[in-house]
Amino acid sequence: MEKIKKRWEIAKNWQLLYPFLGFAATMYTAYLVARRLLHYFELNNTWHEWVFTLGVSLVLYFVLVRFFIWCFKKLENKWKVTYQWEMIAIFIVFAITGSLSAKMAQPLVEWFGLGKEVTHGALYWTARILLIFPIYQVLLVLVGWVFGQFQFFWSFEKKMLKRMGLGFLIP
């Protein structure tokens, strides 16, 4: 435990929440991908099912962890954070915000009457992607606030909108 605290610059026990959330989310993602592959290769309901799921989940977990650590190293100089554990919190916020905004856009598209069954695919996906963008912008700041990273995401948001030519939206 001391090794984890030292690596992620954790001073208080509540900060351990972020590495454990990161571990759980990465493991769950690896499991979900393994289950998708299981169904893709039609190995479900066979004796291979759990061996395949466990093996692929573990391999994917370690690949994802290596990828995230590589991302941390690339971004730690670009993103100015006080402690290493804040990088984990930022990655978790991005993951939650991206997934949540994509999930929230579907019912909104349906509500506008542009459902998958009644609209051409190109129009449906265009409308959905256009709705994801503003939802994502709002959720990024809100979820960042919940995870104690409001200042980082507010600065990130302002910079992103200015680069897109939408800086006039910021007070």
Q: Over the stretch 149-160, which tens digit does the pLDDT of each residue have?
A: 999 999 998 888
For the chain, give percent helix, strand, coil, nearest 5. Answer: 75, 0, 25
* Residue-level pLDDT at 51: 87
Residues 153 and 94 placed together within one structural domain of the fold: yes
Range of the domain at 158: 82-171
Residues 86 and 170 placed together within one structural domain of the fold: yes
Distance CA 93, CA 166 (A): 23
- Final residue of a structural domain among 78, 96, 111: 78
* Residue-level pLDDT at 95: 93
Q: Over the stretch 67-105, which tens digit does the pLDDT of each residue have?
A: 999 998 899 888 888 888 899 999 999 999 999 999 999
* Residue-level pLDDT at 97: 96
* Residue-level pLDDT at 81: 86
Which positions ≥6 away from 21 have C-beta within 8 Å? 88, 92
Residues 133 and 108 placed together within one structural domain of the fold: yes
* Residue-level pLDDT at 29: 94
H-helix or E-strand spanning residue 121: helix 121-146
Residues 108 and 159 placed together within one structural domain of the fold: yes
Residues 170 and 89 placed together within one structural domain of the fold: yes
* Residue-level pLDDT at 118: 87
* Residue-level pLDDT at 115: 83
Residues 35 and 88 placed together within one structural domain of the fold: no
* Residue-level pLDDT at 121: 82
Q: What is the DSSP string of 57-114?
A: HHHHHHHHHHHHHHHHHHHTTTS--SSTHHHHHHHHHHHHHHHHHHHHHHHHHHHTT-
* Residue-level pLDDT at 142: 97
Residues 140 and 157 placed together within one structural domain of the fold: yes
Distance CA 25, CA 32 (A): 10
* Residue-level pLDDT at 136: 94
* Residue-level pLDDT at 40: 86
DSSP-based three-state secondary structure for 19:
helix
The count of structural domains within the chain is 2
- Final residue of a structural domain among 78, 97, 121: 78
Neighbours of 101 (CB within 10 A): 20
Give me the residues of the chain with pLDDT under 70, please.
Answer: 171
* Residue-level pLDDT at 91: 93
Residues 103 and 70 placed together within one structural domain of the fold: no
Nearest to 153 by CA among 142, 162, 163: 142
